Structure 1
């Protein structure tokens, strides 16, 4: 099989795709377009971007085809030979997992736009992308005899491609693996130092796991002129979108880019190969429900940051700042009272990547990272670590590409302790349950010589009255323990406010109605900002960092 992809008019943002299918038997041929992609457990319905599909027989005739579902086509071959499927795909979404075409670049994630042909999924697939001669290209696909190919559809769906007139390329070899760094867009930072820093955390990860899963890996960076932040993992690389590019001249923004880079590289082990059995292999035709969000993203979020500290890129102060962001995102979310992280993982397909209704769910990223931190601290007390667990999972499940169950993960964790009762209680309370994890995080931080402090949020509406609003005055969050929860609504717009004798008088617009509301000051701070204080290093902290 082969895909030929080109764009006859890039500013239209359409690409033209021809799929060549060798038909050896006169049976129905079915074409399944993926409905979602790896790394985002949400239906994307890529089919909405397809138009003008035609099937051409070996003798050049257009033959009928029919649709069986929203993204499954079928045609009946009348004789053996090579059939062609012609169609157009609209490439107008710029993020790390989509497709974008314009006069400056041709950027593809093949899972968006390429069909899986039933009965041919395990066959080698050739890929040819026709682009202007002055464009340079990069891809996570392997190549052979100057041709790109995928060993099977799973590999094709896990691959990206970028051709651009302004690509910058660097590379470094570590322990037999060549790491490529590709930059599309303006570079506003020291590229030599960036390469050294990436090399630093990559070396530390390879040292920790003992090996790297593949022989070639591509960091593909889309440095954009507007605000953006996204990353998607692949077995042989990652695509990362970040903007505005000029903001990367500041260390704090470069830290964000380095953070997502280390996060995605950790995925080369965790998720790309250490993967829940429910998504091993991927079935892109329908939802694949699992409860392992804290493992796939929580552990990766925590480990991505801690390895930046261990590699020396982060100072302890910078690591604290990153941890504080996690704490403060979690502190305003009360979804843990209503859903466990297991339930929120299962419900990713419903609303996992949107705000959703107030306080329904937890984030598999930030809440999962706090769970990972607590487990790491608990395991350190057992002369083990969370990384030791991940290393065992790599050998047992990741390297042989066997899907795990959460029961099997927990068995590995319990194998590292003689105090299983404490770990099982933690699981019941904070993974399967609805207990507040902050007191436990505080306890484990203290065991590392780190104090968890808090202060009222600077905005008195948030700290004293439990109201968080956007710049235009629209209320986005209301603390459930405040009086405002009984009187205000999310999306009320505050037009004016006045405090007198501890009473807040506000004028609001509620869906066209003007209302006057009075609120009494809370006796305690409602929304707080949390911060970390370095008290005194100890032996456990040394083991944690090293």
Structure 2
């Protein structure tokens, strides 16, 4: 067993002290590794950059020599010693779903950021002792015990000991500790599991509505899979004073960071709460348990390339919202509004026409979590969700509504998740074919491994449930006629999107700031005058700032329309069969 002791002196400095006790050493040299990435974020993170001091000693306090051999790996020359202590500190000042944060009010740790393992001993148990103020409540998926109490500068601390079966488990169980945590729990039918909801931050949850809705979407997910795979689950919410949106899945918990707190009572904020929570809960099956073979087990030392991101994130993104509609948390109209937002992100990402969603999954490790260069790649979340929507509707059509994506995911669970066996893209395709009762080769060629436009296929699929894909164009003429979208930043309009081969594409660049249109300021007294100045003009003169240089350019319409807006609507005339199919779908 690897034993850790964590403590801190000055929380305002954000440094946490770590002591790692390694026992039963049989070799003269050992190597210890700090993860370079974390599950749920397929991108190298370089956590070692947050370590300020590092040393090794024997049980008598004598220095043991070591050598750093990679950015986050150390070789320790143990000699004849059977026990050593590794000491280091870690800078915890990253308040998001995958980071760590320490201050005078809260202790929040993602152990994957800062715990190490001994090469060859990653499956050993872990014991982590933390000295925390006795007034703190603890939200964590790991079992823990409370030990001795110590008084430090008139504050009573107590020793908390966390227990994990392996390094994989301890680094997949973040901890949030604070005095001001708010907490409720609930259970659902067909499961003995207990679900916990925790809130940290300046907020007043409507617990009755919250628990009712959480029960509803949890119940449906449990029913789909026939039970819940863990005895407990923790929704850990951190509500920030600044705007933020981030959630991360774990084996029996999720950390969801949302802001800003002043918007907490707004309807859209509540929709974010239930939307992310439903998404992250679905991950308990899809990726935590049902995992691509390339990720089983995780190799924390390097990139783990895989092409099935459309399964782990695309399907989960689709299900997160779909579950809310099916369980009654959202109305059908609310769901269609969310689908409209999804389709906007899909059709406005022209990278989907250059790199397939499967290849975009492989490239997650390159630039999957940033915009990157224009129109290079798709999104496993967005493009994967649209592909899943199409697949569910086509399965329903092919099987006369007898089967759906639920059957695909149940089979994935029974065949791979339950058995903790990794799956390949071919395995997933085989299960889809089995559920659909036919070869779905054309679907995979077009929607997963291809780069074609999916509007026509989506529209055809929607007709099975009496819906259609409705196409319109923005009233903002800069978007529909000239082909560019802006965002107001300070007193300027900054170009954020340009439609390929549009008039804007011939003369404008991303990040250009538009200052004037036809010699009039675009931002006047803080108001955006873009539409008023463009009106129905076919030719306009723009004054822009590019790389701090002022330029004058002319731009003219070409008779075409750009950046269409898609939404799903009910067909005016539905057949009886379509109405029945719609009722079964949502």
1:23·1:80 contact (CA, 8 Å) conserved in 2? Answer: no
Q: Does 1:15 align with 2:16?
A: yes
The offset of 1:531, in angstroms, is 2.4
1:58·1:81 contact (CA, 8 Å) conserved in 2? Answer: no
Matches within 5 A, 1:131-146: 131-143=132-144
Matches within 5 A, 1:372-451: 372-381=388-397, 382=399, 383-420=402-439, 423-451=440-468
Name the residue aligned to 1:483.
503
Residues of 1 paired with 2:204 and 2:477: CA distance?
Answer: 37
For residues 333-381 of structure 1, give each alpha carbon's deviation from its aligned partner in whole angstroms, at most 9, with x where no partner exists. 1112210111100000010000000000001001100000011001111
Name the residue aligned to 1:95.
96
2:28·2:80 contact (CA, 8 Å) conserved in 1? Answer: no
Name the residue aligned to 1:47.
48
Residues of 2 paired with 1:242 and 1:399: CA distance?
Answer: 32
Name the residue aligned to 1:512.
548
Q: Secondary structure at the match of 1:434?
A: coil
Residues of 1 paired with 2:430 and 2:253: CA distance?
Answer: 31
Residues of 2 paired with 1:143 and 1:525: CA distance?
Answer: 61
Q: Does 1:154 align with 2:174?
A: no
For residues 293-344 of structure 1, give each alpha carbon's deviation from its aligned partner in whole angstroms, at most 9, with x where no partner exists. 1001000000111111111101001101111110011121111221011110
Residues of 2 paired with 1:417 and 1:68: CA distance?
Answer: 51
The structure 1 segments of at least 4 consecutive aligned residues displaced by more than 4 Å after TM superposition are none
Residues of 1 paired with 2:437 and 2:30: CA distance?
Answer: 56
Matches within 5 A, 1:138-287: 138-143=139-144, 147-174=161-188, 175-287=191-303
- Do the aligned partners of residues 407 and 351 (structure 1) sit closer, same or farther apart at CA in structure 2, a change above 3 Å counting? same
The offset of 1:493, in angstroms, is 1.5
- Do the aligned partners of residues 501 and 18 (structure 1) sit closer, same or farther apart at CA in structure 2, a change above 3 Å counting? closer
Name the residue aligned to 2:522.
none
Q: 1:534 aligns with which of 559, 566, 570?
A: 570
Residues of 2 paired with 1:270 and 1:528: CA distance?
Answer: 33
2:539·2:556 contact (CA, 8 Å) conserved in 1? Answer: yes
For residues 467-513 of structure 1, give each alpha carbon's deviation from its aligned partner in whole angstroms, at most 9, with x where no partner exists. 11221322222111312211111122211113475212111122233
Output the aligned Cα RMSD.
1.5
Q: Secondary structure at the match of 1:249?
A: coil
1:481·1:526 contact (CA, 8 Å) conserved in 2? Answer: no
Q: Quick check: 451-460 or 212-221, which moved more?
A: 451-460
For residues 439-481 of structure 1, give each alpha carbon's deviation from its aligned partner in whole angstroms, at most 9, with x where no partner exists. 2122222322223223222322111100112213222221113
Q: Quick check: 478-487 or 283-292, which moved more?
A: 478-487
TM-score, with length taken from structure 2:
0.90
TM-score, with length taken from structure 1:
0.97
1:26·1:76 contact (CA, 8 Å) conserved in 2? Answer: no
1:231·1:241 contact (CA, 8 Å) conserved in 2? Answer: yes
Residues of 1 paired with 2:210 and 2:558: CA distance?
Answer: 48
Name the residue aligned to 1:503.
539
Q: Secondary structure at the match of 1:85?
A: strand
Q: 1:315 aligns with which of 331, 338, 342?
A: 331
1:188·1:245 contact (CA, 8 Å) conserved in 2? Answer: no
Unpaired runs of 5+ in structure 1? none
For residues 9-38 of structure 1, give each alpha carbon's deviation from its aligned partner in whole angstroms, at most 9, with x where no partner exists. 110011011111103313312110000000
1:504·1:521 contact (CA, 8 Å) conserved in 2? Answer: no
2:19·2:88 contact (CA, 8 Å) conserved in 1? Answer: yes
Name the residue aligned to 2:531.
none
Name the residue aligned to 1:105.
106
Q: Does 1:84 align with 2:81?
A: no
For residues 263-302 of structure 1, give each alpha carbon's deviation from its aligned partner in whole angstroms, at most 9, with x where no partner exists. 0000000000000000011011100000011001000000
